[in-house]
Structure 1
Amino acid sequence: MLNLIWLKSLITLIEQQSFQAAANALGIAQPTITQHIQKLEEMLSVPLIQRGRTGCQPTESALRLLPYAESMLRLHDRALAAVQKPNVKVGASSNIGIYLLQPCLQDYFSHQPTALKNLDLVIEANPNIVEKLENAEIDIALTEWWSPKAGFESLEWKTESLVMIVPVGHPLAKLKTISKSMLAGLELIGGESGSGTGRLLKQYLQGFKQMPTITMQLGSTEAVKQAVRAGLGISLVFASAVVDEVKHGSLCAIPLEGDALKKSIQLVWRQDPFITNKRPDFVEYLLHSKN
Structure 2
Amino acid sequence: MLNLVWLKSFITLVQNRSFQTAAKNLGIAQPTISQHIQKLEEQLDVLLIRRGKSGCEPTKAALVLLPFAASMLGLDQRAREAIAGTSFRVGASSNIGIYMLQPYVRSFKDSKAAPSVKLVIDNNPAIASQLTRGELDIAVMEWWNPKPGFEARDWKQEPVVVIVPPDHPCARLSEIDRETLAGMTLLGGEPGTGTGRLLATFFGDNGPFPEVSMQLGSTEAVKQAVKAGLGISLVLAAAVSEEVRAGTLRAIPISGPGLAKELMVIFPDDIARHPPIANFISHLCHRDSIMDRHSGR
- TM-score norm. by structure 2 comes to 0.80
Between the aligned partners of 1:250 and 1:290, the Cα distance in structure 2 is 27
The CA deviation at 1:175 is 4.1
Tell me the residue number matched to 2:99. 99
Conserved? CA contact 1:187–1:214, under 8 Å: yes
Q: Secondary structure at the match of 2:281?
A: helix
1:282 partner letter: F
Counterparts of residues 1-291 of structure 1 (less than 5 Å): 1-50=1-50, 56-108=56-108, 112-115=111-114, 118-125=115-122, 126-184=124-182, 186-205=184-203, 206-208=205-207, 212-218=211-217, 220-258=218-256, 260-272=258-270, 280-291=278-289
The CA deviation at 1:145 is 1.3
Q: 1:186 to 1:16 in 2, by over 3 A?
A: farther
Aligned pair count reads 285
Farther off after superposition, 9-18 or 67-76: 9-18
Between the aligned partners of 1:21 and 1:142, the Cα distance in structure 2 is 41
The CA deviation at 1:259 is 5.1
Q: Secondary structure at the match of 2:134?
A: coil
Q: 1:254 to 1:65 in 2, by over 3 A?
A: farther
The CA deviation at 1:84 is 3.4
2:286 partner letter: H
Mark the runs of 5 or more structure 1 residues left unpaired by the alignment: none
- TM-score norm. by structure 1 comes to 0.81
2:5 partner letter: I
Q: Secondary structure at the match of 2:21?
A: helix
Tell me the residue number matched to 2:295. none
What CA deviation, in whole Å up to 9, does each residue of 1:130-163 have, x standing for no partner? 3333333333221111222233222111111111
Q: 1:45 to 1:197 in 2, by over 3 A?
A: farther
Identity of paired residues, percent? Answer: 51
Please provide the CA RMSD for this pair: 3.1
Tell me the residue number matched to 2:294. none
